[in-house]
């Protein structure tokens, strides 16, 4: 049984209402986005229904997700630190501008990047936001150019908004190093918009797409869809979520509290996404890579 929670808290809550109250599910694999996960979390906790997300990354999930919400993607609390560390330490850039979308995911990254960059000794000279429905970013681009930063950290929720934002920044004459998160270095973005994102540096979770479990999944996806998996780590985590939940059910039945306890005890599970261990917050423990788009290819920098 599935529902489309449309990547936002309101629809996430509505989807959870239907799944829990009408379909009587005991486990939800999802959400994909942070906003929908946070929107569904109160209902999941209230009804002792386990949620296991393959890709929700907002730091707020650690603090507000509750005892029945788990994830197989590492928190942006770490991704934002990796991005700001790289800009400050490795690139020796001292003035940053931030442009972010007003979603849970993007704001989580924005806050962590800003706090860590300033803590390192850097200065955030512009901090601009835009709404999910916006398509004109010229005002933000003009302000960023006037602030004269060394680096621009952009955090869109979706690739379409991100590519449009990058184009308008370039049109405004912003010729600075751009740093971003995983959305803008998704394999589909690099392939379809190579010229727009060339030179961009992005942070994504560390992942081996040639690992014994991951490679066959991604090959099957390409065989079925005739395209590469855009976010191979998240899709592999979706595969792992099904198998981990199946193991939990085999051991504990459909008892929400027992499944919750099973997930907290997961350690060194050999998954497609890598070695999976859960911490005391229900967050997976995984590392990050820093990559750069060069001539239509992703090159690992760190």
Tens digits of per-residue pLDDT, 171-187? 999 999 999 999 999 99
Q: What is the token pair recorded at 19?
A: 């799944």
Three-class SS state of 292: strand
HSE on the CB side for 18, CA within 13 Å? Answer: 11
| pTM beyond cutoff 0.75 | yes
Largest interatomic CA distance in the chain: 60
* pLDDT for the residue numbered 153: 98
Of 138, 105, 75, 2, residue with least CA distance to 283: 75
Per-residue pLDDT of 5-17, as tens digits, reads 999 999 999 999 9
Q: How confident is the model at residue 250 (pLDDT cuts 50, 70, 90)?
A: very high
Rounded mean pLDDT, 124-147: 97
């Amino acid at each position: 049984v599935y529902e489309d929670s449309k990547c936002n808290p309101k629809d996430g809550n509505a989807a959870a209402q239907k799944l829990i109250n009408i379909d009587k599910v005991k486990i939800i694999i999802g959400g994909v986005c942070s906003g929908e996960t946070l929107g569904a979390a109160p209902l999941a906790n209230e009804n002792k229904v386990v949620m296991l997300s393959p890709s929700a990354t907002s730091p707020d999930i650690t603090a507000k997700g509750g005892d029945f919400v788990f994830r197989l993607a590492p928190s942006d609390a770490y991704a934002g630190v990796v991005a700001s560390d790289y800009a400050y330490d490795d690139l020796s850039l001292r003035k940053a501008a931030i442009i972010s979308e007003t979603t849970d995911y993007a704001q989580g990254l924005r806050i962590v990047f800003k706090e860590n960059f300033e803590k390192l000794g850097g200065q955030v000279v512009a901090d601009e936001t835009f709404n999910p429905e916006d398509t004109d970013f010229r005002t933000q681009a003009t302000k960023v150019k006037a602030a004269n930063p060394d680096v621009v950290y952009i955090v869109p929720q979706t690739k379409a908004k991100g590519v449009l934002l990058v184009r308008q920044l370039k049109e405004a004459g912003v010729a600075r190093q751009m740093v971003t998160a995983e959305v803008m270095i998704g394999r589909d973005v690099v392939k379809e918009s190579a010229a727009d994102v060339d030179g961009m540096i992005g942070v994504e979770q560390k992942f081996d797409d040639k690992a014994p479990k991951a490679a066959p999944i991604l090959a099957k996806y390409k065989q079925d869809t005739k395209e590469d998996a855009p976010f191979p780590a998240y899709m592999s985590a979706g595969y792992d979520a099904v198998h981990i939940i199946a193991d939990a059910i085999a051991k504990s039945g459909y008892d929400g509290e027992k499944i919750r306890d099973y997930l907290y005890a997961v350690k060194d599970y050999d998954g497609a996404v890598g070695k999976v261990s859960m911490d005391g917050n229900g967050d997976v423990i995984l590392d990050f890579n820093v990559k750069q788009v060069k001539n239509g290819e992703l090159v690992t920098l760190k």
